[in-house]
Amino acid sequence: MAKTIKVERGDITKYQVDAIVNAANTTLMGGGGVDGAIHRAAGPALYAACEKFHGCPTGEARITPGFQLPAKYIIHTPGPIWHGGEHGEADLLKNSYRNSLQLAEHYHCQTVAFPSISTGVYGFPVEQAAVIAIKTIREFLAASRWVQEVIMVAFDPKTEAAYQKAL
Ligand code: ADP
């Protein structure tokens, strides 16, 4: 199977893939946006599983089961908060994608779906974020053994257009 990157519009909580990625915060205790949607759909067992991590630094990633989601695993990564672009935001965002993919690889995931990390409440400009995301995913896929397909799931048309353009 050839390795692929796709951009689609949709709700990531509905994806039946090996792993979906959650744009979490450093507490890993849930929040708004995609994080809230994932916690609502996965059920309270997710909260109990996340509690055991005692948080996660920005750019790192942690994995849990998918619980009530169609996805087998949820990979949680806190992306950077945008502070103008000169506080290491680009490197931290790259780390979020790379560390999430490394965990997916370790768990032998073939298909992985990402939301647009950091471009909601965290304020990272979506055009810049999309270029970083696509580049990091492409580099990773060139050397991966297990991960075959990565889907960028955009929630709105502007996000979808930015990732299509970056692709
Ligand atoms: P962050 O705090 O990392 O910025 P947000 O959840 O605020 O995270 O936003 C990240 C992106 O996820 C935004 O583009 C937002 O529109 C999108 N999003 C929100 N709900 C969903 C969902 N159910 N599926 C996919 N993407 C979603």
Where in the chain are the domains?
4-166
How many angstroms separate the alpha carbon of residue 39 from the centre of ligand 1? 13
Which atom of ligand 1 is the closest one to the Cα of 37? 23
Q: Which CATH superfamily is domain 4-166 in?
A: Leucine Aminopeptidase, subunit E, domain 1 (3.40.220.10)
Does ligand 1 lie within 6 Å of residue 121's CB atom? Answer: yes
Question: Residue 103 pLDDT more than 70?
Answer: yes
Task: Report the catalytic residues.
Answer: 35
Q: What is the pLDDT of residue 1?
A: 66
Does ligand 1 lie within 6 Å of residue 163's CB atom? Answer: no
Nearest alpha-carbon partner for 20 in 66, 68, 86, 85: 66
Which tens digits make up the pLDDT trace of 133-163? 999 999 999 999 999 999 999 999 999 999 9
Contacts of 54 (CB under 8 A, 6+ apart): none
Give the residues across from 139 on adjacent strands. Answer: none
Residues 133 and 105: their CA atoms lie apart, in Å, by 17
Spell out the alpha helix ranges (H) of the chain: 33-42, 44-51, 89-106, 126-143, 157-166
How many angstroms separate the alpha carbon of residue 133 from the centre of ligand 1? 14
Q: Tell me the whole-structure pTM to 2 decimals.
A: 0.98
Exposure class string for 81-95: b at 16+ Cβ within 10 A, else e: bbeeeeeebbebbbb
Which tens digits make up the pLDDT trace of 15-72? 999 999 999 999 999 999 999 999 999 999 999 999 999 999 999 999 999 999 999 9
Contacts of 105 (CB under 8 A, 6+ apart): 144, 145, 146, 147
Which atom of ligand 1 is the closest one to the Cα of 153? 25
Average pLDDT over residues 84-101: 98
Q: What is the pLDDT of residue 52?
A: 97
Residues 95 and 91: their CA atoms lie apart, in Å, by 6
By the 10 Å C-beta count (0-12 exposed, 13-18 middle, 19+ buried), 14 is classed as middle
Strand ordering across the sheet containing 73-78? 4-9, 149-154, 111-114, 19-24, 73-78, 62-65
How many angstroms separate the alpha carbon of residue 48 from the centre of ligand 1? 22
